[in-house]
Amino acid sequence: MLDRAPAINPAAPVLSVVLPNYNHAQYLPRAIDAYLSQERQADEIIVIDDCSAYASRDIVAGYAAKHPSIRLVANEKNIGVIPTLSRGLGESRGHYIYFGAADDFVMPGFFAVALRMLQAHRQAGLFFGDAILLDGRSGRPLGVRPPVRPRLSSGFLSPSEVAALFRSNDNFVVTGAAVFRRNKVISAGGFDERLSSFADGYLVRKIALTCGLCYAPITALTWCVFPDSVSRKISTRRAREVLEEIEERLAADSAFPAWYRDAFRRRWHFATSRLALQDEPVNRELLLEMGAQSASDSAVLKCLLHTFGIKKARLLILIWLWQRFRPFSLTGLATTAIARYLEALFQKGSKAARPRLDRVHSK
């Protein structure tokens, strides 16, 4: 697919958005409206429909009739998210590229900040910000990613600085909160379909380790999490199988330090165990498969599950899993939490001050 990619030329669009869609008609208007409401709008928005029902295509066609930047591309058969993203990469023409999801939506100002940062740091392969997580069904807040920020202020991280960060923290780039240099995506190999739902995670890490990245502590994305999503199902049902494929790729790719495979394995075991713990009811089979590394580990997990109420058991098991796998730095977690708390206080204070200032000026 990458061999067909159009050549970049000075007259090409600056920013391309690739939006895969499969039967997400109810979310498409929200996602597309968020792109069109950006201070710095995308030059092209390519919606790749993966053989959805006609409602989705009708919605996109309606937008395309009003907005020349929107283009509908339809797959002849259902091929899945990762191949669809690859097709979007091949169809795109921008110097920069954003890979979206039809059930998520970007936040105001995101694209403007991203392009400004990437233009200021021309060696960076990507820019990213923070993502708010919401329960896709109830709208209940689930948290903010990354749990540990790579830095507390806006700026660039070199490949060596990224590698140093990976020793203590990982998983800080949410793909939907990132804008990439298109040529760096292509030179990194694009989306490796063998890695299934982790293809974008692998790509992000490789670009960061080879080119460096930019970060700004802004809210770039609202990420709607659905327990029955494709990525969630793969992460839980094929956790060990996918991990083996990832480890094989990491071992063969010189972009990744030799020590990284062991660190990634620990974090994958922790992440999949945490997902199993969050399931309703708790996915005990997956929890024991990924969280227990020995018979004694299994005994500890079973004891905690059977001794305490489910709410307390979840907390105790999460603490135990962290002690067992040490997936990230607690210092970094605490520092990030404090920074976000202070930012929220500042924003609250700023909003409260505006009416008072308005009254003063009116007098």
- Give the start-to-end residue ranges of the domains of the chain: 12-226, 235-325
What lies within 8 Å, CB to CB, of 353 at 6+ separation is none
From CA 231, how far away is CA 262, in angstroms rounded? Answer: 23
Residue 98, helix vs strand vs coil? strand
Q: Give the model confidence (pLDDT) of 123-179 as tens digits.
A: 999 999 999 999 988 889 999 999 999 999 999 999 999 999 999 998 889 999 999
Segment 21-32 mean pLDDT: 96
Q: Is 334 exposed, middle or buried (0-12, 13-18, 19+ CB in 10 A)?
A: exposed
- Residue 150 CB: number of other CB atoms within 10 A? 21
For the ranges 62-71, 155-164, 187-196, 234-243, the lowest mean pLDDT is seen at: 234-243
Q: Grade residue 8 by pLDDT with cuts at 50, 70 and 90.
A: very low
- Residue 127 CB: number of other CB atoms within 10 A? 31
Check whether 7 has a pLDDT greater than 50: no
For the ranges 53-62, 84-93, 99-108, the lowest mean pLDDT is seen at: 53-62
Check whether 210 has a pLDDT greater than 60: yes
Closest Cα partner for 184 from 12, 8, 1, 38? 8
| 55 torsion bin: left (phi>0), alpha (psi -120 to 50), beta (else) | alpha
Tokens of 300: 């500890």
- CATH of 12-226 given 3.90.550.10, 3.40.190.10, 3.40.50.300, 2.30.40.10: 3.90.550.10
Give residue 357's pLDDT: 44
Q: Phi/psi of residue 88, each to 5°?
A: -60, -40
Q: Grade residue 276 by pLDDT with cuts at 50, 70 and 90.
A: very high
Question: Beta 213-225 vs 126-135: how paired, if at all?
Answer: parallel
Task: With beta carbons less than 8 A apart as the criterion, state whether 53 and 23 touch.
Answer: yes
From CA 319, how far away is CA 326, in angstroms rounded? Answer: 10
Q: Give the model confidence (pLDDT) of 61-75 as tens digits.
A: 999 999 999 999 999
From CA 36, how far away is CA 58, in angstroms rounded? Answer: 18
For the ranges 2-6, 58-62, 94-98, the lowest mean pLDDT is seen at: 2-6
Check whether 363 has a pLDDT greater than 60: no
Give residue 21's pLDDT: 96
Amino acid, res. 159: P
Q: List the beta bridge partners of residue 45.
A: 17, 70
Give residue 42's pLDDT: 97
Check whether 220 has a pLDDT greater than 70: yes
Give residue 3's pLDDT: 38
Residue-averaged pLDDT of the chain:
91
Check whether 39 has a pLDDT greater than 50: yes
For the ranges 24-33, 247-256, 272-281, 348-357, the lowest mean pLDDT is seen at: 348-357
Q: Grade residue 360 by pLDDT with cuts at 50, 70 and 90.
A: very low
Give residue 240's pLDDT: 87
Q: Give the global pTM.
A: 0.90
DSSP H/E element including 165: helix 159-166
From CA 275, how far away is CA 254, in angstroms rounded? Answer: 30
Check whether 350 has a pLDDT greater than 90: no
Q: Grade residue 308 by pLDDT with cuts at 50, 70 and 90.
A: very high
Closest Cα partner for 13 from 80, 76, 69, 62? 69
Q: List the beta bridge partners of residue 17.
A: 45, 98
Give residue 280's pLDDT: 85
Check whether 4 has a pLDDT greater than 60: no
